[in-house]
Amino acid sequence: MFAPQFGYHRASSVAEAGELLRSNPGAKLLAGGHSLIPVLKLRLAAPPALIDIGRLAELRGIAVDGGSLRLGALTTHAELAASPELQRHAPALAQAASVIGDPAVRNRGTIGGNVAHADPASDLPTVLVALGAAFEIAGAGGERTVPAAEFFQGMMATALGDGDLLTAVVLPARPPGQGQAYVKFAHPASRYAVIGVAAALTVSDGACTAAAVAVGGLVPVPLRAPSVEGALAGGPVAADALAAAADRVAADLGDDLIGDVFASAEYRRAVAAVWVRRALEAAAQAA
């Protein structure tokens, strides 16, 4: 529990953080530190330097602009969970943020650090994939925006390259008639998602006019569930219809499922549909 030696730099602007990243090969960005510090303390990594971006005010805050939300990368999970804007415009994200870890983790951990770490058992990426979020990245060659579906590339692997700094997450505000939900089967020790499901159902006159469903936790990268979405679109949101749609998730999971001592891949595959159904029911209820 004692980290190896590392250099420390505190950036005073996003631009300076980028320069420090590029002039310190192998350096890691330090925001909330809730993924990075344990890795250092367990001596699983020994980066030569940390670049502290934790005090960059320009990376903070939640802004609503017309039909979209912009979340600064340093916005903490606690801020996400407590935000009235988020509860109104992206309630699934607020819900997911409220069930990360425990209060201490939520007070320190940030959305930027969370998605950049891309832990497959994390909660926020699943919601961001379902809601069609995009990520603003400041890199050596300027700024660019990457959609969530392209951002998450593998277990703990993202579109972020050397010298890149994630500055914000943007996502569309909830349209009228859309209900959202995030449910998770939490690991009893870590509280990471063994299975996490995000659902957004737009309902009109008892029928589902649009559906977005993503699953995480049991797959290396959060996945949209097109079979489930297809079964829902145009159909009723009655319990049996939701259950039938949820059962389709098996076709969307692929072959590469995560398993561990607590919950095997086989078990997770077998019960995934139950958790999808619970998410669909909650989303339909909220619509």
Contact window for other proteins (CB under 8 A) among 29-37, 83-91, 128-136, 183-191: 183-191
Nearest to 136 by CA among 104, 97, 108, 169: 169
- Could you say whether residue 5 binds other proteins (CB under 8 A)? yes
Classify strands 49-52 and 28-30 as parallel, antiparallel or unpaired. Answer: parallel
**Which of 13, 43, 55, 238 touches other proteins (CB under 8 A)?**
43
Handedness of CA 258, 261, 266, 267 (dihedral sign): negative
Contact window for other proteins (CB under 8 A) among 51-59, 73-81, 112-120, 187-195: 187-195
Tokens representing 280 are: 């669909």
Judged by CB under 8 A, the chain residues 225 through 284 that form the site for other proteins are 261-264, 267, 270-271, 274-275
Which residue shows structure tokens 């029911």? 281
Residue with Cβ nearer other proteins (78 or 200): 78
**Which of 60, 70, 117, 187 touches other proteins (CB under 8 A)?**
187
**Which of 42, 45, 157, 238 touches other proteins (CB under 8 A)?**
42
Strand segments (E) across the chain? 7-10, 28-30, 49-52, 62-65, 68-72, 134-139, 142-147, 152-154, 157-158, 165-172, 178-186, 193-204, 207-216, 223-224
**Which of 189, 205, 240, 255 touches other proteins (CB under 8 A)?**
189
Conformation bin of residue 70: beta by default, left when phi > 0, alpha when psi is -120 to 50? beta
Residue with Cβ nearer other proteins (4 or 234): 4
Output the smallest distance, CB 267 to other proteins, in A.
4
Q: How many CA atoms lie within 13 Å of 189's alpha carbon, on the beta-carbon side?
A: 4
- Could you say whether residue 7 binds other proteins (CB under 8 A)? no
Number of residues located near other proteins, criterion CB under 8 A: 22
- Could you say whether residue 4 binds other proteins (CB under 8 A)? yes
Output the smallest distance, CB 105 to other proteins, in A.
12
- Residues whose CB is less than 8 angstroms from the CB of residue 82 and which lie 6 or more positions away in sequence, other chains included: none
Residue with Cβ nearer other proteins (49 or 207): 49
Residue with Cβ nearer other proteins (233 or 243): 243
Helix ranges restricted to H, 90-179: 91-98, 103-108, 111-117, 124-130, 148-151
How many Cβ atoms from other residues are within 10 Å of residue 173's Cβ?
Answer: 17
Residue with Cβ nearer other proteins (153 or 190): 190
Binding site for other proteins (CB under 8 A): 1-5, 42-43, 185, 187-190, 192, 261-264, 267, 270-271, 274-275
